[in-house]
A and B are shown apart, each in its own frame.
Chain A
Amino acid sequence: MIVELGHFALVLALALALVQSVLPLIGARVGDARLMETGSTTALGGFVMLALAFAALTHAYVVSDFSVLNVAENSHSAKPLLYKITGVWGNHEGSMLLWVLILSFFGALVALFGRDLPASLKANVLSVQAWITVAFLLFILLTSNPFARLDPPPFEGNDLNPILQDIGLAIHPPMLYLGYVGFSIAFSFAVAALIDGRIDAAWARWVRPWTLVAWVFLTAGIAMGSYWAYYELGWGGWWFWDPVENASFMPWLSGTALLHSALVMEKRSALKIWTVLLAILTFSLSLLGTFLVRSGVLTSVHAFATDPTRGVFILGILCVFVGGSLALFALRASSLEGGGLFAPISREGALVFNNLFLTTACATVLIGTLYPLVLEVTTGAKISVGPPFFNLTFGPLMLPLLFAVPFGPLLAWKRGDLLGAAQRLYFAAGAAFVAVLFVMAITQGAAILSALGIGLAVWLMIGSFVDLWGRASFAKAGLSNGLRRLSGLPRSAFGTAIAHFGVGATLLGIVAVGAFGTETVTTMGPGQTVHAGGWGVRFEGLAARDGPNFTEEVGRFTILDGASEAGRIESARRLYTARQQPTTEAGISTHIFSQVYVALGDAVANGGQTVVRIWTKPLVTLIWLGCVAMAIGGLVSLSDRRLRIGAPARAKHRAARPVAEPAE
């Protein structure tokens, strides 16, 4: 019964979305306030319906109702409760439902917090948002209904893919979808602006926080996914340039560009058309990612089960939205007034530089991801484009950008002083130089490229704070005055510094692991010690153990730092009984930023010996901690007065003026 209610709620949500996709738009055309207001009501109603549908599906999972096909295929009664719940989105149908739920959640947020938006803009935005909802609800109801029943129901379910039975599944997809789908708001705003034929700095002030929210979640989601793959797959790698990873990385790159160009638009009313285009492209790349992941057109480690009709349907959605919005852009972009020009050496110029490199890098990732598809369709040749391609194209394009990052915040708007900025960066440059020399010295000059990479990372990490340092001017103003000055700075300045610092930290981790990580594959017997990368790993023995829905063979290891013990870890080979699927559970010992990573290979016949793979990963956690810093930087920036209060506050502000002048 609950399942049918869920299905019914899903259909109702579609009906509401249909209303929402038409009425507010007409209202905005004819200037009817009541019609425009239907947008908010239907957006909230649609969200409630989708939340009910999602709750109904979750309930079916929790009580293990195997009469629901989706539950029978992806759950098991012996599975721990957490994985029963996360299993809801561990499959195609359920994750699509989560996708749409988040889409309508963002729509509801606009309805709730957009009270101060110009009514016609808000109505248009909600209508555009509803178009996307309609398309994806149709997709769910017609091709991937999670509420389909199974008759007769089986006694036991198929279980969730063991790889997914991990806390990572609880966090990674929701975060990633909040990011992916969050860009739909920027898209809806862009399309609404094109429909209106009007766009101004207030528009950018509205779009930027939404983009920032989506970006923060996407950053955290990608980092989480990367760490999950790192510890779960047992390969010791943190990024594989897998098409599905690229699918999430491309919206991140263009979303990062969008954040920066929206800044120019907000402050200087320039780059309007470009920002609108980026908003469209960013969400288009999110849609493309959805298509790539779910259509099965690409060979990837984490594509969903494939079904040609689904692929065609999503391709249709992709074409309609991308083609439609780009066509609208082509027709209407000329009606938006362009902004003024500015000197190449200026804050705007620096942000354009950022955009240029980010979008070009994004384009190379796109080419690398789609080229095999295009080539197969046109010539029939089957190729794969792997990490070497991306390292050779994406890497060199990132270098100038990363080098330029510390300059950006030091350049003034309109006309910047490059020489002055360079002078202020003396200290960062000196530190970077020392870092290069230091690495050269300890490696005896063997690792010049890595040394330069680490120098670049240090340059970024220190250079990011030069702006704050300069503005506090501790040297002139003294400590307490300096701190007072700092506390008076806008939060966005701190956000920028923290996020840029995070980029440097991630780079440091990437370079250090690539250059100084070690990999050892060997056969070990109990009591034996292997030395690798400055650590000792002693194998203590194997033992069998039973989990709730798996059996495992656990190898215990002691990590030695010199002669002293630095930690104990367990590394296991598991066999999930329901699917008879083996997995590797790596043992990871973390020492501040570095890790020792141990995975069990196959057992060797004689006397408790086993193949063991040991990686030492210096500074590896910086890769993800840097991403966390980027996300925190985004959050700090989001808490800035300017964004919190934003354009609409002026209306309140004016109303409040007769009573009291606001304190600022």
Chain B
Amino acid sequence: MTRKQKRLAGIGGMVGVVALAVGLVLQSLSTSIAFFNSPTDIVSNAPVPTQRIRLGGLVEQGSVERGADSKVRFRVTDSVETVPVVYAGLLPDLFREGQGIIAEGTLGPDRVFLADTVLAKHDETYMPKEVVDDLKKRGLWEDGKGMVAPKGGEPVAMTGAGS
């Protein structure tokens, strides 16, 4: 091979691999990423059932039911709206009522959220960042104080950590 051909072969190979990678990345970004939603987002603007979403909020007090079929049902709330969640699988050790969690999955046609992953951080003073940001935006969270009552509403019976 001449010098020029060698160089062309090299550049061609590189362009090919990079193009392949770009194609794969674009393809999977369009199908496999999950958007973060609060319960209010989901209630007001329901996503299509195929869209993967991350639902973040607090586990409502008294809402956790463990069924005989090893499925766990609970409700996730941002103190304005609540979304029922069904999850079959292993809950993190720190999953408890009042704790901030993130559930990942899809919204079923009956408006029940089918979670395939539930994340609760391994630290009792932790709130998922997305949940805190979301609560802050709507004045339900203050740095150093945790959950605060929505203005003009009932006090929230939740102990969001973070103090």
**Are A and B associated in one complex?**
yes
CB distance from B30 to the nearest CB of A (A): 10
Measured between C-beta atoms, what is the minimum distance from B38 to chain A in Å? 10
Task: State the Cβ distance, A657 to closest chain B Cβ, in Å.
Answer: 40
Q: Bits for A70-82, please: 1 = Cβ < 8 Å to B, else 0.
A: 0000000000000
Given contacts A393-B21, A582-B93, A611-B70, contact A388 B28 (CB under 8 A): yes
CB <8 Å contact, B6 and A341? yes
When the two chains form their complex, are residues A299 and B128 in contact, meaning their CB atoms are under 8 A apart?
yes
Interfacial chain A residues near B9, Cβ < 8 Å:
344
A56 CB → nearest B CB, Å: 27
Interface flags for A234-254 (1: CB within 8 Å of B; 0: not) read 111000000000000000000
Give the nearest-CB partner of A604 in chain B.
B66
Quote the shortest CB–CB distance from A73 to chain B (angstroms).
12
In the assembled complex, the CB of A250 is this many whole angstroms from the nearest CB of chain B, namely: 15
Indicate if the CB atoms of A383 and B88 lie closer than 8 Å. no
Report if A522 contacts B (CB, 8 A): yes
Cβ–Cβ contact A301 & B119, under 8 A: yes
Contact between B18 and A360 (Cβ–Cβ < 8 Å)?
Answer: yes
* Residues on B with beta carbons closer than 8 Å to the beta carbon of A583: 93
Chain B residues whose CB sits within 8 angstroms of the CB of A382 once the complex forms: 35-36, 54, 130, 133
Note all chain A residues with C-beta closer than 8 A to B124.
Answer: 579-581
A617 interface residue per 8 A CB criterion: no
Complex partner residue of B54 from A236, A384, A523, A613, CB under 8 angstroms: A384
Instruction: Indicate which residue in A389, A392, A396, A584 contacts B93 across the interface (CB closer than 8 Å).
Output: A584
Query: Per-residue CB proximity of A337-363 to B under 8 Å, as 1/0?
Result: 000011110000000110011001101
Q: Nearest Cβ distance between residue A574 and chain B, in whole angstroms?
A: 9
Interface SS majority for chain A:
mixed
- Which residues in A have their C-beta under 8 angstroms from that of B28? 388-389, 392-393
A356 touching B14 by the CB < 8 A rule?
yes
Q: Are A384 and B104 in contact (CB under 8 A)?
A: yes
Inter-chain contact B3/A341, CB cutoff 8 Å: yes
Query: For the complex, is A367 an interface residue (Cβ under 8 Å from B)?
Result: yes
Does the CB pair B94–A386 fall under 8 Å? Answer: no
Tell me which of A356, A364, A521, A602 contacts B25 (CB under 8 A): A364
User: Is the Cβ of A389 less than 8 Å from the Cβ of B32?
Assistant: yes
Q: Which residues of B lie under 8 Å from residue A522 when comparing CB positions?
A: 70
Q: Is the CB of A386 within 8 A of B104?
A: yes
| B32 surroundings in chain A (CB, below 8 A) | 385-386, 388-389, 392
**Cβ–Cβ contact A371 & B122, under 8 A:** no
Q: Mark B55-95, 1 if CB is under 8 A from A, else 0.
A: 00000000000101010000000000000000011110110
B114 touches A (CB below 8 Å): no
Residue among A344, A382, A388 having the largest count of chain B Cβ atoms under 10 Å: A382
A360-B18, A389-B28, A581-B124 as given contacts; A341 in contact with B7, CB under 8 Å:
yes
Q: Determine whether A541 belongs to the interface, using a CB cutoff of 8 Å to chain B.
A: no
- B48 interface residue, CB < 8 Å from A? no
Interface string of A358-396 (1 = CB under 8 A from B): 001101100110010000000001111110110011001
Interface of chain B residues 111 through 131 with chain A (CB within 8 A): 117, 119, 121-124, 128-130
- Which one of A341, A579, A584 has the greatest number of beta carbons of chain B within 10 Å? A341
Known contacts A299-B129, A388-B32; 10 further A-B pairs (Cβ under 8 A):
A299-B119, A299-B130, A301-B121, A341-B6, A344-B13, A383-B36, A384-B36, A384-B54, A392-B27, A611-B66
Residues of B within 8 A of A (CB): 1, 3, 6-7, 9-10, 13-14, 17-18, 20-21, 24-25, 27-29, 31-36, 54, 66, 68, 70, 88-91, 93-94, 102, 104, 117, 119, 121-124, 128-130, 133
Which A residues fall within an 8 A CB radius of B?
161, 163, 233-236, 296, 299, 301-302, 341-344, 352-353, 356-357, 360-361, 363-364, 367-368, 371, 381-386, 388-389, 392-393, 396-397, 521-523, 579-584, 599, 601-602, 604, 611, 613
Instruction: List, sorted by A's number, 24 A–B pairs whose CB atoms are closer than 8 Å.
Output: A236-B90, A296-B129, A301-B119, A353-B13, A371-B33, A383-B36, A383-B54, A384-B54, A386-B117, A388-B28, A389-B28, A392-B27, A393-B21, A393-B28, A523-B68, A523-B70, A579-B124, A580-B124, A581-B94, A581-B124, A584-B93, A602-B66, A611-B70, A613-B90
